[in-house]
Amino acid sequence: MTRILRGIYIVWIILRYGLDELVLNSFRQPWLHGVARVISFGRRLDAPRGQRLREALEQLGPIFVKFGQVMSTRRDLLPADIADELARLQDRVPPFDSAIAIATIERAFRRPVDSVFASFEREPVASASIAQVHFATLLDKHGATREVAVKVLRPGMLPVIEKDLGLMRMMAGWVENLSADGKRLKPREVVAEFDKYLHDELDLVREAANAAQLRRNMTGLDLVLIPEMHWDFCHPEVIVMERMHGVPISQTERLRQAGVDLGKLARDGVTIFFTQVFRDGFFHADMHPGNIQVSLDPATFGRYISLDFGIIGTLTEHDKEYLAQNFTAFFRRDYKRVAQLHIESGWVPPETRVDELEAAVRTVCEPYFDRPLKEISLGMVLMRLFQTSRRFHVEIQPQLVLLQKTLLNIEGLGRQLDPELDLWHTAKPFLERWMIEQIGPQKLLDELRDQAPRYAKLLPDLPRLLHDFLQRGAAGSDDRHVKELLAEQKRTNRLLQAIIYGGLGFALGLVVMQLVVRVRLF
C-alpha cells in the first residue's frame, strides 16, 4: 500500500507540474503536440518548462534530485534552458530551517552551538538533496579559531528514500519478470547498488572517512585539494571540516579572467579520475559541478577542490585490471581484443563469434576517434553500445553502474571546460603507464614486500613441516617413493637457495620484458 500511495503521489506531481505535456512537446510529430494541448487544458502551466521540471524533482525527493544533477552536466543532450534550471539542483535546493540545523548540531554534540563555534552563519551557503552547509569559526582546545564548514543532514530523509527504493524494487521485479531483457539487465542488482550507496550517504561519519581516505590517496598528486575533517566534531548527522576557498568550476568566465588554464584544468580532471579509478580503485562518484571548485590561492593556484564525499565508488583488483585492458585495447582501436575480453569475462555468451562482436564494436566506436570532445556525445556512444549489447546478450554489471555515471559527469564537465579536449589521447598515456606497472618488476616487489611478514614466519618452519609430513607418510606406508622423498628432504636448504636465485632470475626477466613493452608502446 505504501508503494502504491507513493506511485500515486509521483503521478500527481507529474500532472501538477505538467511534465506529461513537456514530454509530449519534446517529440516532433504535430499530432503529439495536439495531444499535449488537450491534456494540459484547464491546468495553469505558466512557468517555464525548465523551472517546472526542477521544482517537480525537488518535490519528489533525493533520488529524483540526484537524477537531475546528473542530467544537468549533459548540455549536449538537453536544451540550454532546462540544463540551466537543473544546475540549480547541484547546490541550491531549497534549504530547511536554520533553527532545525542548530537543534541537530546541539543534539549531536550535546552542547549549545555558541560553545562549539565562535561564530556560526545561520544562512546556509549551499543546500542539496541530503544535507546543507553552514560556514562557522571553530574554537579549539587552546582557544584558537579555525574557519570551518559544517554539514548538517536534512531531517526526514530515510523514510522518503525507503519509499522510493521500495517502488524501484517493485518496478525492477516487473522488468525482470516481464521483459525479454530482464535477466540480462539485472534490475534488482542495480537497485540494490543504489540502495547501498544512498543509505551510506545518510551517515556523515562514513562521508568523513571517505574524505580522509581520498585525501591520503591524492597526497603527492598536487592536482586536487580535499578538506581535512575535524574528528572531534564528526557525528552521523553533523560533520565539521576545513573550510575551502575556491571558485565554483561552473563559473568558467571568472576562472578564465583569473588566469586559470581551462585546457589544463580539463586534462587534470581526466588524470584525477583515472588515477582514482585504476590506481586506487576508490573514486569520487558524485562529481557534478556543485561539488567541485578551483583554487585561486597563489600557493595552490589552478588546483581542483573536491567537496561532498557521500557517494564513493570502489573497484576490485579484478575489475580494475579488466577495465584497464578494455580501455587500453579501445584506445589502440584493437576491437578484436575488446571482443575477446568480453567473452573471456563471461559478459557475453561463450558461443558468441569474436569477429561479429568485433565488427559491431568497431561500427559504434570508430566514428568518434580523433575528434574533439565538442563533436562527441558519450551519451550517444553509450546508447549505441547499449543497443549492441542487447543484440549480443551482454549482461549488465551492477558494480560498474556508479563508474558509468561518474564517467558521464566527467565528460560533461570536460565539455564545459574545454570543448577541444581530446578525451582519448589524454587518457591513453595514463592507462598504458598503468598497464606497464601491473606487469613490471615493481609490482612483483610490492607484492613480495606486502607478503614478506607471512613468508618470513613460514620459511623457517618449512623444512620441519615437510619432514614431519613425509615421516608420517613413511610410517604408515611401505611406498618406496615416500621414503625417497624423506631422504630428499635433507637437501631442503639447497632447494630454498635455488628458489631464491630463481626468483632473482625471474625478476630480471621481468625487467627485460618491461623494456620490450616500453619500446613497443612508445
Q: For 173-206, how does the pLDDT look when each residue is reduced to its tens digit (9 = 90+)?
A: 766 776 655 565 566 776 777 777 777 788 999 9
26-30, 112-116, 220-224, 511-515: the lowest-pLDDT one = 511-515
Active-site residue flag, 370: no
Query: Distances in Å between the alpha carbon of 121 and those of 109, 127, 148, 231?
Result: 18, 14, 11, 21
Q: Which residue has the higher pLDDT, 458 or 359?
A: 359
Q: Would you state the pLDDT for residue 18? A: 76
> What's phi and psi for 127, nearest 5 deg?
-145, 125
From 91, 164, 286, 418, the catalytic residue? 286
Q: Would you state the pLDDT for residue 124? A: 93
Q: Would you state the pLDDT for residue 81? A: 82
For range 215-225, the mean pLDDT:
92
Q: Would you state the pLDDT for residue 515? A: 46
- Of 431, 72, 90, which is closest to residue 273 (Cα–Cα)? 431
Residue 3 has pLDDT above 70, yes or no: no
Residue 105 confidence class, pLDDT cut points 50, 70, 90: very high
How far is it, in rounded angstroms, from Cα 331 to Cα 425? 8
Residue 502 has pLDDT above 60, yes or no: no
The topology under which CATH files domain 92-155+227-243 is Phosphorylase Kinase; domain 1 (3.30.200)
Q: Would you state the pLDDT for residue 119? A: 93
Q: Would you state the pLDDT for residue 455? A: 66
Quick one: cell of 116?
A: 562549539
- Conformation bin of residue 225: beta by default, left when phi > 0, alpha when psi is -120 to 50: beta
Reported as type and span, the H/E element at residue 316 is: none
Q: Would you state the pLDDT for residue 386? A: 59
Residue 517 confidence class, pLDDT cut points 50, 70, 90: very low
Place of cell 557521500: 310
Q: Would you state the pLDDT for residue 211? A: 95
Place of cell 575528434: 371
Quick one: cell of 378?
A: 558519450
Q: Would you state the pLDDT for residue 398? A: 60
Residue 280 has pLDDT above 80, yes or no: yes
Query: Distances in Å between the alpha carbon of 459 and those of 344, 451, 465, 497?
Result: 36, 12, 10, 12
Place of cell 581530446: 422
pLDDT, tens only, 407-420 = 777 777 777 888 87
How far is it, in rounded angstroms, from Cα 167 to Cα 422? 41
Q: Would you state the pLDDT for residue 507? A: 47
Q: Which residue has the higher pLDDT, 92 or 101?
A: 101
Place of cell 630463481: 502
Residue 83 has pLDDT above 60, yes or no: yes
pLDDT, tens only, 301-325 = 999 999 999 888 888 887 777 777 7
SS3 state of residue 425: helix
- Conformation bin of residue 141: beta by default, left when phi > 0, alpha when psi is -120 to 50: alpha
Instruction: For 274-312, give the DSSP string.
Output: HIIIIIISEEE----GGGEEE--SGGGTT-EEE---S-E
Q: In the chain, what are the domain boundaries?
A: 2-89, 92-155+227-243, 158-199, 246-438, 441-521
Residue 258 confidence class, pLDDT cut points 50, 70, 90: very high
Q: Would you state the pLDDT for residue 195? A: 75
pLDDT, tens only, 112-154 = 999 899 999 999 998 888 899 999 999 777 777 899 999 999 9
Runs of H (alpha helix) within 332-391: 335-345, 354-365, 378-391
Instruction: For 189-217, give the DSSP string.
Output: HHHHHHHHHHHHHT-HHHHHHHHHHHHHH
pLDDT, tens only, 111-123 = 999 989 999 999 9
What average pLDDT does the chain have?
Answer: 77
Residue 266 has pLDDT above 50, yes or no: yes
> What's phi and psi for 141, nearest 5 deg?
-65, -25
pLDDT, tens only, 11-58 = 788 777 777 766 666 656 665 556 556 565 556 677 888 888 888 888
pLDDT, tens only, 443-493 = 667 666 776 677 677 667 667 766 676 666 655 555 555 555 555 555 444
Reported as type and span, the H/E element at residue 180 is: none
CA dihedral for 397, 399, 405, 408, sign (positive or negative): negative
Cα angle at 104 between 103 and 108, to 5 degrees? 115
How far is it, in rounded angstroms, from Cα 129 to Cα 161? 11
How far is it, in rounded angstroms, from Cα 462 to Cα 474? 18
Residue 328 confidence class, pLDDT cut points 50, 70, 90: confident
End-to-end CA gap in the chain: 63
pTM assigned to the model: 0.71
SS3 state of residue 122: coil
Say if residues 404 and 382 touch (Cβ distance below 8 Å).
yes
How far is it, in rounded angstroms, from Cα 71 to Cα 405? 10
Percent of the chain past pLDDT 70, that is, above it, reads: 69
CA dihedral for 183, 188, 194, 200, sign (positive or negative): negative
Q: Which residue has the higher pLDDT, 275 or 151?
A: 151
Cα angle at 416 between 411 and 422, to 5 degrees? 55
